[in-house]
């Protein structure tokens, strides 16, 4: 199996626009591309530093360069965390509610996991 890495321009475009989404999925699992992203981000920071030396850049310029990358990655991480939280939450909700609302006549152990939250497919 060959892993195809997005080209640098493609990574840069993802930084700028968030497209294509599958680049984010790839970066999530590819250390090499994360490193490339770090380099691209470092370049951006250098650019911002240069601009600051010459003049004070508008606040949103920093937002669009370094902050934009952080926000993008944070969005991805938050989505993943939210998904995990939600899945675990539903297990708890089901375990708490089902014995009372469905009343199957059996004393269900509420601590018995419906799904193993740690053993999901990956
Ligand atoms: Zn890669």
- CA–centroid distance, 29 to ligand 1, in Å, is 8
pTM (predicted TM-score): 0.37
40-45 long-range contacts, CB within 8 A, separation 24+: 40/8, 40/11, 40/12, 40/15, 41/15, 41/66, 41/69, 44/15, 44/69
Ion ligand 1 residues within 5 Å by Cβ: 5, 30, 32-33
Residue 20, preceding peptide bond in cis (omega within 30° of 0) = yes
Selection from 72, 77, 76 nearest residue 41 by Cα: 72
pLDDT tens digit string along 13-57? Answer: 898 888 888 899 999 999 999 999 888 888 777 766 776 676 655
Q: Which two tokens stand for residue 54?
A: 């010459």
Cα 17 to averaged position of ligand 1 atoms, centre (Å): 18
CA of 65 to the centre of ligand 1 (A): 21
């Amino acid at each position: 199996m060959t892993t195809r890495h997005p080209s640098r321009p493609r990574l840069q475009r993802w930084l700028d626009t968030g497209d294509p989404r599958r680049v984010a999925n790839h970066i999530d699992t590819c250390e090499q591309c994360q490193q490339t992203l770090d380099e691209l981000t470092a370049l951006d920071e250098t650019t911002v530093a240069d601009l600051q030396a010459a003049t004070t850049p508008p606040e949103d310029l920093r937002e669009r360069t370094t902050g934009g990358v952080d926000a993008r990655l944070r969005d991805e991480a938050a989505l993943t965390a939210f998904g995990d939280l939600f899945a675990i939450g539903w297990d708890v909700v089901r375990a708490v509610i089902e014995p009372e609302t469905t009343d199957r006549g059996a004393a269900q152990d509420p601590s018995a996991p419906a799904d193993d939250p740690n053993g999901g497919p990956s």
